[in-house]
Chains A and B, each alone.
Chain A
Amino acid sequence: MAAALINVPKKAKRGDVIEIKTLMSHIMETGFRHTATGELVPRDIITSFSCRYNGEEIFRADLFPAISANPFIAFFTTASESGSFEFSWIGDRGFSESASASIIVE
């Protein structure tokens, strides 16, 4: 299930501030909805997102049911050296996905 969409610039100058956009396909069921018969639909959300740049964590987010389905998260970082970004999403019911992207810094 290739569920992630990642947008990282391919190239950047050293010291540039770059934007990273991520989107993970996920229902993000709030746990507050009911079915027509009155049963509560159990919560099923992504609870944690993190991004590592050459092994060092540069961004982390705790998500709650108030984040929309297919969570989109965009943030910034300073391009310091060529290498890779590792993204990971962890959630309810053992949900765990990861993705990576590489960048060339000149």
Chain B
Amino acid sequence: MMKRETMDRPDRSTRRRFLALTGGAAVVGAVPIVAAQPAAATPAMMAAAMRDVTGAAVVRTGKVKLDVPPLVENGNTVPMTVSVTSPMTAEDHVKSIHVFVEKNPQPNVGNFVLGPRAGRAQVSTRIRLADSQKVVAIAKLSDGSCWSASVDVVVTLAACTEEVI
């Protein structure tokens, strides 16, 4: 019971240290396996990353449309489109679009800076998802307001943390 051969994370040094630390005191079946997992972003980290972008502004839901497939087979390349309802004039336009995720190792995905010359507030790219999780897009408008949209995505094959052969 002390040896856990089935652990899927290849982080051997951590595991060894972990076993050395807990080995003597290990109670059968009560060892928390999660302790050896690599650090993943938490919803709190995502909230902190979002605050860095929005500052004190209140983030309201609406205006933003986030297109991500709700079920993806391969988390290594997930098509994503963010569009914002905006006239895109000099007085009223989208200044930037920011995308965040909850459970990747890092909460930030991308920051996209636009301007009134864009004509249409829409950005497409392909992202990586390390787990089934919530994806959030925030748009910052020229009047300082922030709008958001979120989608829950189910991922069958995760990205980022797999072993390199």
Contact = CB atoms under 8 A, between A and B. Distances in A.
Interface string A33-44: 111101001000
A64 B108 contact: yes
A104 interface: no
Contacts, number: 115
B114 A59 contact: yes
A41 B110 CA distance: 22
A79 to B, nearest CB: 9
B114 A68 contact: no
B108 A74 contact: no
A17 B128 contact: no
A67 B110 contact: yes
Interface string B30-47: 000000001000000000
Nearest to B39: A32
A80 interface: yes
B6 interface: no
Given A30-B160, A34-B10, A66 B104 contact: yes
13 contacts: A33-B160, A35-B164, A38-B13, A59-B118, A63-B110, A64-B108, A64-B110, A65-B128, A66-B108, A68-B127, A69-B76, A72-B126, A74-B124
Interface in B61-102: 76-78, 101
A66 B113 contact: no
B48 to A, nearest CB: 15
A contact patch SS: strand
The 9 closest A-B pairs by CB, nearest first: A17-B119, A78-B119, A68-B126, A74-B124, A76-B120, A62-B111, A68-B77, A66-B109, A60-B113
Nearest to B10: A34
Interface of B: 10-13, 38, 76-78, 101, 104-106, 108-115, 117-129, 160-165
A73 to B, nearest CB: 5
B105 A32 contact: yes
A34 B164 contact: yes
Contact of B112 (A35, A41, A56, A75): A75
A18 B124 CA distance: 14
Nearest to B125: A73
A62 B110 contact: yes
A77 B111 CA distance: 17
Contacts of A74: 123-125
For A32, A35, A53, A61, the residue with the greatest tally of chain B CB atoms inside 10 Å of its CB is A32
Contact of A32 (B77, B114, B120, B160): B160
